[in-house]
Chains A and B, each alone.
Chain A
Amino acid sequence: MGLLSDPNRRKALTGLLTRLNTPICIVCYLAGIVWFMGLAFEPFTLRTYMSENAMGSTMVEERFSSGERALSLAKEFDAHKRKAGGMPVEWLVKAMQSRGLEVFTQSFSRKLPFPDENKERYMVRGTNVYGILRAPRAPRTEALVITAPCSPGNTNNQAVALLLALAQYFRNQIYWAKDIIFLVNEHDLIGTQAWLEGYHHTNITGMEYSPLQGRAGSIQAALSLELSSDVITSLDLVLEGLNGQLPNLDLANLFYAFCQKLGVLCTIQGKLQRNDWDTAEGYTHAAQTMMLMVLKQACGRSWGDHGLFLRYHIEAASVRGINSFRHYKTDATTIGRLLEGMVRKLNNLLERLHQSYFFYLLPSLSRFVSIGYYMPAFGLLAVILLLRALDLWVHLGAPALAAVDGVTEAEQPSSPGVLTVLTPVVISHLTGVALYLLPVHLQEMAVEHFPVSETEAVVLTAIAIYTAGLALPHNTQRALYAVVMVLLSPAFTILYCVFIYQELIEAPVSVSEGWMLFLSVISQGILDHALYGSLVYPLLALFIYPCWLMFWNILFWN
């Protein structure tokens, strides 16, 4: 007879399961943690390689030379930006037109659910300016996008200027097989979202925008440029997008290949790769880089303007120039050459990037861990849930077995009524729904009654509803368990993650600063969900929080 159909064998198996349940669970948990942390150890990772045949190796000769002209253009742009008090639309339109692009503008407006610290107002209005470089010989079926944000103040002037210089250089070449769109967006992610929705004729986030007058075909890849100084010491690659989505690994491979060719220092997560993988510091460095990537993906916000492209299956990455205290400086011409090389290689693509991995972790720019290697760690953690469930199932069935054996001392436990089980479940989920809906809707009422700003009102309402859910009759005997449960609750997990994140980026904060960061994280999460459709806040409020609340109920079941 089979293993599970033979009653004797089944009894032995279930006996094993119930007896050894806790040890197996502990072993699985530790194994999962060790497996995951071991992934950062270099011999367990694979070296990155270019998977797409069409992109090949970096065999092009970059001839871009107008770096200096770009820097003077940056000053001009800055002056016009100050004069216009925002985006200098006419100047940009004229600059792009004089470089031979087809220029169009798009105006957009968005009513924020509550004003966050950056915007300090409800209504956000802006204009995107984009110019299309038509491929001289190719049909207009495919496009590439290069975008630079127009940020207030001193930031990203050089990015926009380099964009214009590249546009002028690209216009003189005849080897383009795709149209190239040069986009300057206002208000960062909101502008990008408006442009993408207008381009693809969708309206998923309630943005109001004017329809796009000019279009270029389906977008194959996008690059976002952030450059705020004349010389830089390193280029940082930002891959994490909305909801933790990542572009195809080939895009990161392309960036790394050109960094190596041109001799530019390239970092990921702001950390430079080390050579000493066999020392403790080398390993912790790689582990920190990997954990930073995990945390950034977990928080679900888009860490660069590229992040919103990923939802439309457009592979996109952000390249950020960093000016820190290093000896070796890279000038704008070299950055221009790097971008020229990347765009030229992307020009060779015949299909969208799909040959390399979509789910991966990068302990460094030249090493990667694919999902096939890191998923087993989570599988081991999930096995614990399965084992516990089986254990409970076996225990539920045990009194019945005792009755069958003829021993009738055990009294029949009264099966609980449906109402007694359903009530906590419903209440937990209702509290979750309240946590999801009420903070934004009750903010006016909160502002009337309490001396706080709208943002603070939202966040504090959320925290209030969260702690209200804990209000249950409890007995003091389980105080220790109660404290442990609270310390493992979702809100505290987020708090720990904030502190860990700050440690990992080597900017540790004090407790009060951490608390303020925590509050801003909550408000940003709610805002991201409302503006771009990030799923982390609804996931927490509607699924994880009710589950935890039900555990809390079970703990104090009387």
Chain B
Amino acid sequence: MDYYNLLTTCAFIHLLVSIPYAYSNYVENKAGQFFSSGHTNNWAVLVCTSRFWFNYRHVANTLSVYRSVKRLGIPDSHIVLMLADDMACNYRNPKPATVFSHKNMELNVYGDDVEVDYRGYEVTVENFLRVLTGRLPPSTPRSKRLLSDDRSNILIYLTGHGGNGFLKFQDSEEISNMELADAFEQMWQKRRYNELLFIIDTCQGASMYERFYSPNLMALASSQVGEDSLSHQPDLAIGVHLMDKYTFYLLEFLEEVHPASQANMNDLFKVCPQSQCVSTPGHRTDLFQRNPGSVLITDFFGSVRKVEITKDTINLTSSLKPLIQRSGSGDMQIESLTYVDQLPVAEIIHQNAIQGLSYSIMTEGTPVNF
């Protein structure tokens, strides 16, 4: 009897002791799920490359994506909006201070709170590449920088006039698909993105993503090589075409998406089939590590912060203790917070998920809520 009592008490004690461990493992798993998509912040770079009044639709394209992205949660501080011309205040606009995307003036995508970061002649190939790679002069204001880190999911949207392998900027210069691929590779090597979604709405847009070779890139284009992307509807009061077909249907699709929606990338690939778009939209996912069906739209278009309210205390695991001890050991070194350098080599070396937790507390990324 004593033996059995001893066994049961031992088992009971063992169970009691292991519950907190099990529970912390559970918490770790749950915490690990927070980062299953791998990103902690979202950025968007939206570029319209054409000027002149008859290219109204390109500005309307960009502004409609801007509107969707803002609605789904990405703040202006995380959006770099580049518009090559001012349509809202163009002399020929019969409705000044508006840019419409639907005819009969149903939807004004210019709105009241648009923030254009690069405007007019500032939208050049050089500035675009500098924004992507982060090589801007120190005097550049924050709103004109892409301050992404290796946990950022970035959405890049380009629209304008393009051809086989190039995109025309401002009627005077071009960016080639190799330059774009090299810029993304620079971004990867500098760990400036976690995953990147590239959408382009131009003629022969698929040629622009043919040359990508960096990991974690997904690309969509409005037309294949040899096809033209077509514009959608003219508005007879304004006298121009308002939107391109692909972005029009993309906007309609995005209007249905809300921050909690579970729509995934496979739905995005189905936007605007050839029966609606006349051109054949294309996409590229071979460089992307996750399955597109498990990638949510809001991973790129929205800025979803995963929050779970808990009333229990959670014990942090032991490896944190040395850090806490260090900071509590009297000799407090007060480090002023600075922005991350281009290549935080020290942190990259630690690839552990637990160290990943501590890393994100130490650096200036979006604070993680428990």
Contacts and interface: CB of A to CB of B under 8 A. Distances in A.
Interface of A: 53-54, 56-57, 59-61, 135, 137-138, 173-177, 344, 347-348, 350
A53 B54 contact: yes
B356 interface: no
Contacts of B52: 53-54, 350
Q: Is the interface of B mostly helix, strand, loop or mixed?
A: loop
Give the residue among A54, A60, A173, A177 with the most B Cβ atoms within 10 A: A60
B54 A175 contact: no
A59 B240 contact: yes
B16 interface: no
Contacts of A60: 236-237, 239
Interface stretch (B87-95, B126-134, B207-215, B293-301): B87-95
A511 to B, nearest CB: 55
B53 interface: yes
Contacts of B92: 175, 177, 347-348
A348 B94 contact: no
Given A60-B237, A137-B96, 20 more contacts: A54-B52, A54-B53, A54-B54, A57-B234, A59-B234, A59-B236, A59-B239, A59-B240, A135-B91, A137-B91, A138-B91, A174-B94, A174-B96, A175-B92, A176-B91, A344-B239, A347-B92, A348-B53, A348-B54, A348-B92
Contacts of A61: 236-237
A177 B91 contact: yes
B94 A173 contact: yes
29 contacts: A53-B54, A56-B54, A57-B234, A59-B235, A59-B236, A59-B241, A60-B237, A60-B239, A61-B236, A61-B237, A135-B91, A137-B91, A137-B96, A138-B91, A173-B94, A174-B94, A175-B91, A175-B92, A175-B93, A175-B94, A177-B90, A177-B92, A344-B239, A347-B92, A348-B53, A348-B92, A348-B239, A350-B52, A350-B53
A344 B239 CA distance: 9
Contacts of A59: 234-236, 239-241
Interface string B51-67: 01110000000000000
Contacts of B240: 56, 59
B98 to A, nearest CB: 13
B239 to A, nearest CB: 4
Interface in B308-332: none
Q: Is the interface of A mostly helix, strand, loop or mixed?
A: loop
Give the residue among A135, A175, A176, A177 with the most B Cβ atoms within 10 A: A175
B172 to A, nearest CB: 14
Interface residues of B, number: 16
A344 B54 CA distance: 13
Interface string B207-250: 00000000000000000000000000011110111000000000
A421 to B, nearest CB: 60
Give the residue among B236, B237, B239, B240 with the most A Cβ atoms within 10 A: B239
A254 to B, nearest CB: 14
A54 B52 CA distance: 8
Nearest to A52: B54
A243 B313 CA distance: 95
Shortest Cβ-Cβ A-B pairs, 4 listed? A61-B236, A177-B91, A59-B234, A138-B91
B90 to A, nearest CB: 8
Contacts of A344: 239
A174 B96 CA distance: 9
B268 to A, nearest CB: 31
Nearest to A177: B91
B39 to A, nearest CB: 41
Give the residue among B54, B92, B94, B96 with the most A Cβ atoms within 10 A: B92
A49 B96 CA distance: 31
B226 to A, nearest CB: 22
A53 B53 CA distance: 10
Contacts of A174: 94, 96
Contacts of B53: 54, 348, 350
Contacts of B54: 53-54, 56, 348
Nearest to B235: A59
Nearest to A136: B91
A56 B52 CA distance: 12
Contacts of A57: 234
Contacts of B237: 60-61
Contacts of A176: 91
Contacts of B239: 59-60, 344, 348
A138 B53 CA distance: 14
Contacts of A348: 53-54, 92, 239
A214 B94 CA distance: 27
Give the residue among B90, B91, B236, B237 with the most A Cβ atoms within 10 A: B91
Nearest to B90: A177
Contacts of B91: 135, 137-138, 175-177
Contacts of A350: 52-53
A175 B236 CA distance: 13
Interface in B234-274: 234-237, 239-241
Contacts of B234: 57, 59
Contacts of B241: 59
B67 to A, nearest CB: 24
A232 B235 CA distance: 31
Nearest to B89: A137
B245 to A, nearest CB: 16
A119 B280 CA distance: 68
